[in-house]
Chain A
Amino acid sequence: MNFTRALWYYLWIAPHAFQALILPAMLYHRLHRRYPAFFTYTAFAIVEFLWFFLVARFQPAGYLRGYSIDLLVSTILRFAVLCEVIVNLFGDYKSLRRVGKRLMAGGLAVFFVAATLLAVFVPGQNSDHSWWSVFVMDRTASILQCGLLLLLFLFSRYIGLSWRSPAFGIALGLGVFACVEFAISAIRAQFGSAQRIPLDLTSMLTYHFCVLIWLFYTWMPERKPAASAMAIPEHDLEAWNTELQRLVQR
């Protein structure tokens, strides 16, 4: 077995072995109640790996169909996980629930229009039509996920939201994977199955890295911010005193 083949098998098997460790971590920390979509996605990823590893690779005729169905379900589950992260993040803040929902809905509409226009006007030059449609759909979904995650990170950074560990880890892993898949699906939509092996290895390596991020953040317990006696600088005490007096006199 040469090095590339060995690496390919390792990158195919190892992430799913690590994902099998994520499930007990979530059960132990009771995270499956807060993040049921992510729990379902992880379980699905393990099941689909077992299906492809033990069954589908011996039936090449049905491989494209199986891959298409797997891609569709995975994409839907990743969107569900993304929604779950957003709801968990904004749900902790009463003032953000309406604004956050509108922002994400607006972002989704804009990115959907952009991705659809790209699919229509820049369809690629892939001669293999059956795989081409899969790659274009994958590219469209990746654009949506990338865009939403970027918007989420930008908004939460500006507002100064404190991320709880699992939500941050899940979002980071999704974001990294979505960005790399965006690039890879753009190349595949244009050039088809050429350079399949390097692209596959890149995608699998990225997924491996993302699974390790998820494993780390699901095993790490959540840390609450420490209560602090923050000292206010002296030059502010006068301003605060004035403010206090004004409030008292009302």
Chain B
Amino acid sequence: MTIAVLLVLMACLTLALVLWLAKGSVPKLLSTNISEDSNNCLRSVDIQAFRNLIDPAEEAFLRSNLPSAEFRMVQRERMWAAIAYVSCAAYNASILMKVGESARDNPNLEVAEAGRALVDDAIRLRLYALHAMAQLYLAVALPGLVVCPLGVPDRYEKMTGLVIRLRSLQYPVRSVVAAL
């Protein structure tokens, strides 16, 4: 009887979770303009600072020059900061995915292709970010662990380039900066 009760509770929990997840994924019934949604603002990401945080050479320098207790404390702070950067990068990727999605159905084939490339890259970045977050949280728990999620900044830079290309294709007459 206990097992049956547990299984019923699991089923109810699963149903609640499915409904909650589905609520956040409901396709918009009316056409929406992303710029009208105040929640869709990009966050600033300093890629160079992020690279410094996850640079193995930087970590080796700190490890050799600091007492072990102090190194662990500093390393934890660096990993927490890296997690914040990865979260921002992943968040920006989700916003730019929407930009790419809206361009995928453009009648201009070049714009559509650029939109598709942006969407694919944004998805890859989100997947890299998930993997990187797992590594970084592990590094927070075990500061001696060497982690190097270089995939995130590299992919983020590539995504930046794709956005610029997409915007320049969508607004070819104006300058790129004005288009941005």
User: Shortest beta-carbon distance, A142 to chain B, in Å?
Assistant: 8
Q: Are B15 and A99 in contact (CB under 8 A)?
A: no
Q: Is A225 an interface residue (CB 8 A)?
A: yes
- Return chain A residues, CB-CB under 8 Å to B42: 232-233, 236
- Return chain A residues, CB-CB under 8 Å to B173: none
Given known contacts A159-B126, A186-B7, A236-B42, A153 and B18 CB-to-CB distance under 8 angstroms: yes
How many A-B residue pairs have C-beta atoms within 8 angstroms? Tell me. 157
How many of chain B's residues have a CB under 8 angstroms from any CB in A?
Answer: 62
User: Shortest beta-carbon distance, B38 to chain A, in Å?
Assistant: 11
Q: Which B117-155 residues have a C-beta within 8 angstroms of A? A: 119-124, 126-127, 130
Q: Are A156 and B35 in contact (CB under 8 A)?
A: no
Complex Cα–Cα for A165 and B30 (A): 12
Contact digits for A123-157, partner B, Cβ 8 Å, 1 yes 0 no = 01000000000000001001000100110011011
The dominant DSSP class at the B interface is: helix
Q: Are B27 and A157 in contact (CB under 8 A)?
A: no
Q: Are B44 and A228 in contact (CB under 8 A)?
A: no
Q: Are A160 and B94 in contact (CB under 8 A)?
A: yes
Q: A residues near B, CB below 8 A? A: 93-96, 99, 118, 122, 124, 139, 142, 146, 149-150, 153-154, 156-165, 168, 172, 175-176, 179-180, 182-183, 186-187, 189-191, 220, 223-233, 235-237, 239-241, 243-244, 247
18 inter-chain pairs at a CB distance below 8 angstroms, sorted by A residue, are A94-B116, A96-B123, A139-B7, A153-B25, A156-B25, A157-B24, A159-B126, A162-B98, A172-B18, A190-B1, A225-B28, A225-B34, A226-B32, A227-B103, A227-B106, A228-B34, A228-B102, A240-B177
